[in-house]
């Protein structure tokens, strides 16, 4: 170990366009301006627990600004406080937080930069409580992290979803079909609301507004009567019918967030076809929304958040997450962040604007 101040970076949870842009920003600023040494733990908290890391030099991050995914790898199941260990068919959970903290100390890491969603940042908050100097950077396509107005990855996901919905429009129109498009977003409707509005979805169903299938079907039938012989229904994976529940695709019990959503699109497709008698098709956009190059907006946001995180380290300000409030860069105590998903408020102006151009949200007919 040299004389330089050493910091470490890890990326946890689902990948998301713009993570590499953040890693690049942190590493470049730390090396160029502050002459620090940077290492990266591999595969999120798994690398921290297993003491698996690599050096991050300028050359390692040069050219990754536009690259999707994370060059460090990630994990959705590794949690130092509840680390899954497979013994035969059984999964046994162990608290390996002490070993993880020892790894950080032995490496002489002065600050751990954690890039992640609410689960990953929740663990970061606990590690900070145990004395680890940490700075968090919010990451998710879902845009559901509290205390920040937006997250990088969201703009890219909305763009990909909108491009897809635009393409589905022409085929729906040609065949006079109802096209159901299921998009990710976890238990929040941000992606569906934005992509649905951007691409003129006729119906948008989000978790925050339970839908009535009779209303959705009646709306589609009325469009048909008016000569609009196709409809686009954008449904968030976490949407649910009135009095009903979300559709669960799988349970990953090792994960911090064991419920994987998905499948509402097919259920809804069957229901709409039955209620309207109109031919229906379902498309699930799924992980497509998480892949590939980030938009210019997300690259800019990622660069701002990454470089700001290094400012906090320079000032010795830890236990904070960098974020955006009222359009400006801010930092917030980590403990305030991991308190459940940020949902779409029912008074959100975009909901009003979208209704005002005739979009049905499954709760009332216009």
Nearest to residue 27, comparing CAs of 157, 145, 137? Answer: 137
Asked if 142 touches ligand F6P (CB under 6 A), the answer is: yes
Burial (CB count within 10 angstroms: exposed 0-12, middle 13-18, buried 19+), residue 226: exposed
Cα–Cα distance for residue pair 12/15, rounded to 1 Å: 8
Asked if 260 touches ligand F6P (CB under 6 A), the answer is: yes
**Smallest separation, CB 76 to ligand F6P (Å):** 5
For the question of residue 257 being annotated catalytic, the response is no
Active-site residue, selected from the candidate residues 43, 118, 142, 202? 142
Asked if 342 touches ligand F6P (CB under 6 A), the answer is: no
| Tokens matching residue 325 | 């409030």
- Of 9, 10, 11, 14, the residue at the interface with ligand F6P (CB under 6 A) is 14
| Tokens matching residue 182 | 């299921």
Asked if 140 touches ligand F6P (CB under 6 A), the answer is: yes
301-340 footprint of ligand F6P as x/- string (CB under 6 A): ----------------------------------------
Residue pair 241/235 in contact (Cβ under 8 Å)? The answer is: no
- Of 184, 236, 268, 337, the residue at the interface with ligand F6P (CB under 6 A) is 184
CB-nearer residue toward ligand F6P: 29 or 76 = 76
CB-nearer residue toward ligand F6P: 185 or 362 = 185
Residue 267's SS3 state is helix
Residue pair 54/43 in contact (Cβ under 8 Å)? The answer is: no
CB-nearer residue toward ligand F6P: 201 or 341 = 341
106-125 footprint of ligand F6P as x/- string (CB under 6 A): -----------x--------
CB-nearer residue toward ligand F6P: 261 or 321 = 261
Asked if 343 touches ligand F6P (CB under 6 A), the answer is: no
Query: Judged by CB under 6 A, how many residues of this single chain contact ligand F6P?
Result: 13
- φ and ψ at residue 171, rounded to 5 degrees: -75, -35
The long-range contacts involving 328-335, CB below 8 angstroms and separated by at least 24 positions, are: 329/304, 329/305, 332/147, 332/148, 334/121, 334/124, 334/125, 334/128, 334/134, 334/136, 335/125, 335/129
Cα–Cα distance for residue pair 87/48, rounded to 1 Å: 21
Show which residues are catalytic: 142
- Binding residues (CB under 6 A) for ligand F6P: these are 14, 76, 117, 140-142, 184-186, 237, 260-261, 290
């Amino acid at each position: 170990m040299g004389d330089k101040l050493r910091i470490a970076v890890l990326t946890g949870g689902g990948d998301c366009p713009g993570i590499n842009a953040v890693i690049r920003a942190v590493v470049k600023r730390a090396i160029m301006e502050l002459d620090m040494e940077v290492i990266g733990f591999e595969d999120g908290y798994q690398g921290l627990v297993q003491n698996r890391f690599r050096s991050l030099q300028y050359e390692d991050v040069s050219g990754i600004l536009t690259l999707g995914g994370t060059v460090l790898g990630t994990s959705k199941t590794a949690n130092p406080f509840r680390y899954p260990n497979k013994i035969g068919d059984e999964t046994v959970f162990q608290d390996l937080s002490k070993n993880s903290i020892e790894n950080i100390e032995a490496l002489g890491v002065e600050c751990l930069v954690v890039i992640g969603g609410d689960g990953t940042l929740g663990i970061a908050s606990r590690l900070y409580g145990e004395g680890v100097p940490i700075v968090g950077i919010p990451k998710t396509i879902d845009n559901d992290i509290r205390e920040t107005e937006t997250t990088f990855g969201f703009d890219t996901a909305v763009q990909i979803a909108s491009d897809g919905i635009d393409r589905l429009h022409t085929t729906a129109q040609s065949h006079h079909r109802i096209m159901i498009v299921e998009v990710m977003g976890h238990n929040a409707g941000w992606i569906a609301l934005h992509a649905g509005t951007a691409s003129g979805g006729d119906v948008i169903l989000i978790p925050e507004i339970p839908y009535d299938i009779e209303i959705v079907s009646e709306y589609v039938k009325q469009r048909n009567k008016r000569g609009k012989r196709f409809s686009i229904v954008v449904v968030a994976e976490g949407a649910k019918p009135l009095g009903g529940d979300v559709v669960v695709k799988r349970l990953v019990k090792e994960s911090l967030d064991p419920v994987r959503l998905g499948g509402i699109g097919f259920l809804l497709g069957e229901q709409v076809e039955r209620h309207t008698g109109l031919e229906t098709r379902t498309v699930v956009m799924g992980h497509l929304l998480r892949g590939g190059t980030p938009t210019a907006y997300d690259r800019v946001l990622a660069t701002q958040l990454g470089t700001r995180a290094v400012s906090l380290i320079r000032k010795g300000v830890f236990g904070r997450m960098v974020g955006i409030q009222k359009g400006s860069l801010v930092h917030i105590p980590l403990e305030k962040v991991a308190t459940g998903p940020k949902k779409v408020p029912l008074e959100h102006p975009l909901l009003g604007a979208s209704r005002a151009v005739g979009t049905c949200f499954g709760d009332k007919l216009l």
